[in-house]
Structure 1
Amino acid sequence: MLCCMHELDGPLTRLRRSHEQAVLELLRRHGPLSRAELGDRSGLSRTTLHDIVTGLVGNGSVVTGTPHVEVRKRGRPVEKLSLNPAAGEAVGIDFARRAVHVAAVNFAHDVIGSASEAHGADLSWPERIDIAGRLLATSATVQLDALSAIGVGVVGPINDPGSENARAQGIDGLPDLLRKQFGVPVLLDNNTRLAALAEAMWGAAADSSDVLYLRLSHGVGGGLVVGGALHRGRNGLSGEFGHITVDPAGRPCDCGGTGCLETRASLDAVLHRYRETGGRADDLAGFLDAADAGEPSALKVLERVGNDVGGVLAAVCHAVGPGVIVIGGELAEAGPALLEPVERALRQHLMPMARPHVDVRRATLGDAGSALGGIALVLHESPLLSHYPQPVPEENA
């Protein structure tokens, strides 16, 4: 237990416990804080805070440190308080379409391990879980026996893991498989929405309370942060931007629709369009190399993709009014060759009064984004999750 125990249970004891929980929760949400920062955020008097912190440090729940990079004006190191790293670890796993990404942090918010491994698209869930377990086990700093929970991202809409939709996706038994492997509670969500959460907390959009995240990968999806909170939507269906229709007469989509953005901006669709123009690259790396070298056919494809993406983003902007748009996924590695056409189309389709208020940025967290979002889901460490359902783990999990 992080909170210290008391023999009596009178009003003063309960008040002290509530103060302890408030301090612990602040450190859980924000990571290391100085005593002054804790005082500002908690509203506790200096005397009360000193008493509470002394008790928490004394029982080992909280530890102190003096980072070298922060000093007072007089040169004295600023002491920081954080949760004891030994109190537990949280792990995030991203089961992407063709890769497994893992990351782990301790309760002091230190990233203590991360790794990735690609695999075939048809790999079974037990095999993917084995990859995740091996990646974590081979990371020298991750202690699997210290895990308190796992946050997991998967492809596609997430509602109830036992629902008909989950069975259709083949993930209905995934939480049980993960609990069996790791022996801890499991929280499941859409991996692209988790990437949006991570970018809004630690990445490209950490300074905005209204964020639209779009991932251009083997699939096309996204996430929304509205009014400072991650938006899940009814039945977990928020952020399915890849299934907005771009061309009603276009190609059939796996979702059952026709001409969805995913049929034009997913990696397979982009490579297909490129080869139709005479391009010779066999994979994304070759296509990106061609674009970087200025090959006209590659740049033309990116221009068309950017136009499609910008039009969809403009429509979503008119509905939710984000201040920041973050573009992620492997295709975003094309850089300005993609982002500039996206911005041109976006500005063209946006209302003139909205154009100055939307900032387009490239994602910064890379492959680890969704796994870090899974960790945030486990820790519930941010107001971004204030409107999110709080799953209650099974007693035997």
Structure 2
Amino acid sequence: MLCHMHSQGGPLTQLRRGHEQLVLGLLRRYGRLSRGELGRHAGLSRTTLYDIVAGLLANGAVVASAKDPGPRRRGRPVELLTLDPAAGQAVGIDFARRAVHVAVVNVAHEVIGSASEAHPAGLPWEQRVDLAERLVGGLAGGALRLTPVGEVGGIGVGVVGPVGRTDAGDTPQHVEGTGDTEGAGDARDADKLAALLSERFGAPVLLDNNTRLAALAESTWGAAAGCQDVLYLRLSHGVGGGLVVGGSLHRGMDGLSGEFGHITVDPAGAPCQCGGVGCLETVASVGAVLGAYRAAGGAADDVPALIAALDSGDARAHRLLAEVGEQVGGVLAAVCNAVGPGVIVLGGELAEAGAALTGPVERALDAHVMPVSRRRLTIRRAALGEAGGALGGIALVLRESPLLAGYPAGRPNQEEGT
């Protein structure tokens, strides 16, 4: 455990244990906090909080540090409290279609590092795990500490395709059937992948959809940090996203939430690999956009080349992005009218097109979102880049915030700790 817990006893012992777990859970969730901030989150009396914190400091579960240097003020310097950075680390791995992204963070929320490496599509799982292991080892310098400590050690893993739960509800699992062909392969190999990673790293493994994890990360550390209702859309080689509703990451039945790329935008459009026709993914994925640009007479083999064409004033590129943005905005507007987010976050390679894409998206939102909602809605670019899915995996492991209320949680509820 992170700290010495009192032996089983009477109600007062149980109450103190609940208070200790509440404080530890808040530090896992938010990182560095002052005593005043801890008190506001915990709802404990000042006397009780200071007593609990003193005990945690004494046994080394919590450490104190001076607040970041700033203008000198009168009075006693404010101390910030955090979990002991030496207590353990969490690893996030995002197995994207054509790359592996990793990140390592310690329990004090200090980012040790992140790294990425591309690979050919369809690379066997064993080789992808080899690549992840090498990248993580390079970040940790051979000093990775993943032994479960106080329920924080472990690996959070993002994979392509829908991810559901077992009937017991205690372990996220892939669900076969839907999604793209690569995702379907991932689904069949979920148990094998989890076992392989656990063997390689010697730590528990949690699996979820990588795009949904990116939504979680943006809502925790990124562009929408602190927001309770967030719609995240990634425009990449596939199109998908995630929803944070009322402060909780919404997963849906069998992990099917966030499949925005398979909302129909053109009933007479191209067939989609999901089995539908005219899905958003058939017009707004990287491959679809580049194919449409070349069909219009343009020359671009990748997104940077397309952005260069936009920057040069190529009218074909601007017309295409305007059409794509309008279709993306129409889908987002429909979802907004259904769930009422306060923030939309756009991520993925195509979001790098900037105003050429976001301008048409915003115009579509203005036209189709209910006026009372549109005035309160903001749209932002994703802030975490390629590391988003891996950082979301770390949030799984750290039980970062109430966004993970749907996952197994070790901390007591608020009532138990008050």
What's the TM-score bracket when you normalise by the shorter of the two chains?
over 0.9
Residue 55 of structure 2 corresponds to residue 21 of structure 1 = no
Alpha-carbon separation, structure 1, partners of 2:404 and 2:7: 34
Moved more, 13-22 or 304-313: 13-22
Alpha-carbon separation, structure 1, partners of 2:327 and 2:26: 43
Structure-2 residue corresponding to 1:69 = 69
Alpha-carbon separation, structure 2, partners of 1:361 and 1:8: 49
Task: Render the CA deviation track for 1:209-229: whole Å, top value 9, x for unaligned.
Answer: 111110000000010111111
Provide the aligned C-alpha RMSD in A.
2.0
Q: Which amino acid aligns with 1:292?
A: D
- TM-score, length-normalised on structure 1? 0.93
Structure-2 residue corresponding to 1:323 = 342
Alpha-carbon separation, structure 2, partners of 1:89 and 1:382: 17
Q: Which amino acid aligns with 1:38?
A: L
Residue 261 of structure 2 corresponds to residue 242 of structure 1 = yes
Cα offset, 1:141, TM superposition: 5.2
Alpha-carbon separation, structure 1, partners of 2:49 and 2:18: 12
Residue 408 of structure 2 corresponds to residue 390 of structure 1 = yes
Alpha-carbon separation, structure 1, partners of 2:332 and 2:266: 15
Cα offset, 1:341, TM superposition: 1.0
Moved more, 327-336 or 316-325: 316-325
Alpha-carbon separation, structure 2, partners of 1:218 and 1:43: 45
Residue 370 of structure 2 corresponds to residue 351 of structure 1 = yes
Cα offset, 1:19, TM superposition: 2.0
Residue 323 of structure 2 corresponds to residue 304 of structure 1 = yes
Q: Which has the higher contact order (CA 8 A, sep 6+)?
A: 2
Task: Render the CA deviation track for 1:216-246: whole Å, top value 9, x for unaligned.
Answer: 0000001011111111001100010000011
1:99–1:75 distance in 2 versus 1, CA, 3 Å:
farther
Question: What is the aligned length?
Answer: 391
Structure-2 residue corresponding to 1:395 = none
1:39–1:282 distance in 2 versus 1, CA, 3 Å:
closer
Alpha-carbon separation, structure 2, partners of 1:382 and 1:308: 33
Q: Percent identity?
A: 65
SS in 2 for 1:357: coil
SS in 2 for 1:146: coil
Following superposition of structure 1 onto structure 2, how do residues 8-87 of structure 1 map, counting pairs within 5 Å? 9-69=9-69, 73-74=73-74, 76-87=76-87
Alpha-carbon separation, structure 2, partners of 1:313 and 1:268: 21
Q: Judge conservation of contact 1:187–1:391 (CA < 8 Å) in 2.
A: no
Cα offset, 1:369, TM superposition: 0.7
Q: Judge conservation of contact 1:71–1:78 (CA < 8 Å) in 2.
A: no
Q: Which amino acid aligns with 2:114?
A: S
Query: Which of 212, 216, 219 does residue 235 from structure 2 map onto?
Result: 216
Q: Judge conservation of contact 2:266–2:279 (CA < 8 Å) in 1.
A: yes
- TM-score, length-normalised on structure 2? 0.89
Moved more, 61-70 or 267-276: 61-70
Alpha-carbon separation, structure 2, partners of 1:19 and 1:70: 32
Task: Render the CA deviation track for 1:10-52: whole Å, top value 9, x for unaligned.
Answer: 4333332222212111111111111222223223333333322
Cα offset, 1:167, TM superposition: 6.5
Structure-1 residue corresponding to 2:180 = none
1:164–1:221 distance in 2 versus 1, CA, 3 Å:
closer
Alpha-carbon separation, structure 1, partners of 2:7 and 2:233: 52
Moved more, 287-296 or 235-244: 287-296
Structure-2 residue corresponding to 1:313 = 332
1:385–1:54 distance in 2 versus 1, CA, 3 Å:
same
Following superposition of structure 1 onto structure 2, how do residues 101-250 of structure 1 map, counting pairs within 5 Å? 101-140=101-140, 143-147=143-147, 148-160=153-165, 161=173, 163-165=175-177, 168=185, 169-172=187-190, 173-250=192-269
Moved more, 175-184 or 202-211: 202-211
SS in 2 for 1:372: helix
